[in-house]
Amino acid sequence: MALAAHNASQAAALSQTNRILSIDAMRGLIIIFMMLDHIRERFALHIPLLDPMDITQTSPALYFSRYLAHLCAPMFVFLTGLSAWLYAHPANKAVRSPTGFLAKRGLFLIFLELTAVYLVWAGSISTIFLQVIWAIGLCMLALSVLSKLNYWLIGVLGFTIVVGHNLLSPVHFTPDEWGYNLWTLLHDRGYLTDTGPVTIRVSYPVLPWIGVILVGYFAGPLYAHARSPENRRKLLLASGLGCYVLLALLRGFNLYGESLPWHPQPTLVLTVMAFFNFTKYPPSLDFLLVTIGTGLLLLRLFESIENPFTRALRVFGSAPMFIYLLHLYVILLIYSIFYLIFGANQGDRFGVDSYYFIWAFAIILPIVLYKPTKCFAHYKHREKHTKPWLTYF
């Protein structure tokens, strides 16, 4: 009865706000994990972290903290594709093209990466890092074109990229070769320019992420208006568990999907760390299986539970770009205050070695930012029809 009542209330809320509450909750959880990782980057940058993580040099606290953040980029990109399908197929309305919608928002995200996001992390103006917001923007531009293809062809292309791009790992170009810049954008991290007053480094090669956004678009019918919640939950469960089973087979026998093989370690914790130590830049197939598989199961879970925590997550998830930018600048402000009070204790930076501080900060920050995010979300949903720019946040 409680679940039926929750489904009814969720359907009523959806009819009023045109939002899917479980997706908002998923986005909200991603935002909180992202806060944790950005706090780590700001206050524990002096602790080296490689890709993949060196389990002999990385503490379990750092390893598993970082692992929570692994969920962020894959699910943000996946949900972007899924949301594009929902935009193209509004309930009880004619199908519409998502091309313009995606192109404008993709360009806006690239603009934000090069301005508002860059200014947060720039210790100087010497290097521009093209990171996750840039990658999502570029994926949206790609989907704006590819969405014109047949739906099933989009799915085949997406799964082919996600599953097959590991085969491209042996392909490399040196900076003096003609294909270097294109391959740096698509598959290998590197500098587009490494001389002159400003250098540009690609942190998120975009080809695998284009595969993820296409798969997300292909998954859009899971949330079609005519699909029953029971059927959707079954498909989410089957898909999530299917990702886990495929991961267990591929990774368990070191067959395919990750260039770094795993081997049993002296302790259980180290063995677990070795098994799940996947490449993120670019994301390996195993990385995408564990993150998207987990995300699908969480989406199912968020359809089945109703409590103050999930309601708070929905607030963050209903204004994702607002809270993304807000938390970056709040973390920067707090770091600057600590730096002014305590000075540089890690080279030319202020830093902490205790993960108790990182986790405590990551618990307090969402609480502090909840009220302003809720106020903005209410304003956005109230005024978005008269102020279309609000929908970009």
220-248 residues labelled b (16+ CB within 10 A) or e (exposed):
bbbbeeeeebeebbebbeebbeebeebbe
Q: Tens of pLDDT along 8-22?
A: 444 433 333 467 999
Distance of alpha carbon 159 from alpha carbon 214, whole angstroms: 8
d(CA 67, CA 59): 12
Enclosing H/E stretch for 129:
strand 127-130
What digits encode the pLDDT tens for the residues 355-385? 999 999 999 999 999 999 999 999 998 888 8
pLDDT of residue 19: 79
Residue 199 has φ and ψ, to the nearest 5°, of -105, 155
144-169 pLDDT per residue, tens? 999 999 999 999 999 999 999 999 99
**Inter-CA distances, 307 with 9, 292, 314, Å:** 13, 24, 11
Q: Which two tokens stand for residue 391?
A: 């929908």
Where do we find the tokens 């998120």? 204
Q: For position 123, what pLDDT does the model report? A: 63
Mean pLDDT over each residue of the chain, to the nearest integer: 91
Tell if the pTM clears 0.85, that is, is over it. Answer: yes
- In the prediction, which pLDDT does 298 show? 98
pLDDT tens digits, one per residue of 47-70: 888 888 889 889 999 999 999 999
pLDDT higher at 323 or 127: 323
3-state secondary structure of 26: helix
Are 29 and 298 spatial neighbours (Cβ–Cβ below 8 Å)? yes
CA-to-CA dists, residue 52 to 141, 171, 260, 273, angstroms: 29, 19, 8, 11
**Torsions phi, psi of 190, nearest 5?**
170, 180
DSSP string across 94-108: -----HHHHHHHHHH
pLDDT for residue 125:
59
